[in-house]
Amino acid sequence: MKTKFKNILKGIFLTSIASMVSSNEASAISYDLSRISDDNENNIEQKTKKDLSQKYILKVHNDNSYLIAGHRSHRSHSSHRSHSSHRSSSYGSYSGSSSSTSTGTSTYKSNTTTYPKTTYTLGERNIVSGVSGKDVTELANKLIKIKYVIKSEIEKDHSGDVKYSIKLENAIKKFQKDHNQVVDGIVGKKTIEAINKHIEETKHETTNTNIQKYNLGDRILKKQMRGHDVTQLKNILIDKGHLSGNLLKGESLFDEATEKAVIKFQKSIGIDADGIVETQTVYFLKK
């Protein structure tokens, strides 16, 4: 009972002294504790406070005095080589990132490299003067298909990509004008949709033309229609001086210029000037 009581007193004392050393960060101090020592105690005792990550060393001298030393331990501490300057670091990487830890503090740096996008599909961006790329190539092919530009007019940049040149821009402006769009030469979603729609309509008309070739007067003609009968109409208007240009062969498009020429002709003979070529207009054209 006496020994147990002495151990309790010693524990209270050690804890108090250790706390004082820790809070004041004092150097090790010797205390004479011979009165509470016993013969069976070890020469060195260690007291650990796990929750505060601190250790306290008790050493018994030959003169029955005790040495209590407070030691502040880092959470990541694994070596006692240098207490005051000790640092623990760890490094790891995942998905292009790295992390470093110094005395419980973490920092993160991203090593991810981003590259500017150089390839676009038609419709992902607005095509403006001077740009080049895959989308401009798609656009040029469509314009060739609907006969707004010819292959020899296509220009490429130093990397081999098709460039949105002045000739392509002028072709787009003509297309925009023919389809009652804002004539700005910028290829946005509305212009692309109109081009795709025109291609589908042309494809359908070409299929019908392959089945039956129309002559002027076989059907009513109006803007955006295509065929041999449109070519016949244009040649008559050219011959009568209402449309400029050379005589044509094959199929052609009833464009805005043709519509204006028809209206001009209709006005000259005193009939309804609506630009639509129906039976009455055909009659006077062939007269």
Query: Measuring CA to CA, which residue among 185, 140, 193 is closest to residue 163?
Result: 140
Residue 101: inside a domain, yes or no? no
Residues 148, 54: Cα–Cα separation, whole Å: 84
Note the pLDDT of residue 203.
74
> Left if phi > 0, otherwise alpha if psi is -120 to 50, otherwise beta: which for 158?
alpha
Note the pLDDT of residue 128.
96
Note the pLDDT of residue 85.
41
Among 57, 72, 87, the domain-final residue is 72
Give residue-wise pLDDT tens across range 62-90: 555 555 555 444 444 444 444 444 443 33
Note the pLDDT of residue 1.
59
Note the pLDDT of residue 163.
95
Note the pLDDT of residue 118.
58
Note the pLDDT of residue 78.
42
Note the pLDDT of residue 228.
93
Note the pLDDT of residue 19.
63
Residue 110: inside a domain, yes or no? no
Residues 280 and 229 in one domain: yes
CATH assignment of the domain containing 257:
1.10.101.10
Where the chain has pLDDT below 50, the residues are 25-31, 33-34, 36-57, 71-110, 112-115
Number of domains the chain is built from:
3
Q: Is the pTM value of this prediction over 0.85?
A: no
Residues 139 and 200 in one domain: yes
From the number of C-beta atoms within 10 Å of its C-beta (0-12, 13-18, 19+), residue 51 rates as exposed
Note the pLDDT of residue 265.
97
Residues 236, 16: Cα–Cα separation, whole Å: 116
Note the pLDDT of residue 110.
44
Note the pLDDT of residue 119.
82
Note the pLDDT of residue 20.
63
Residue 82: inside a domain, yes or no? no
| Range of the structural domain that residue 44 is part of | 2-72
**Assigned token pair, 203:** 């494809």
Note the pLDDT of residue 229.
95
Residue 41: inside a domain, yes or no? yes
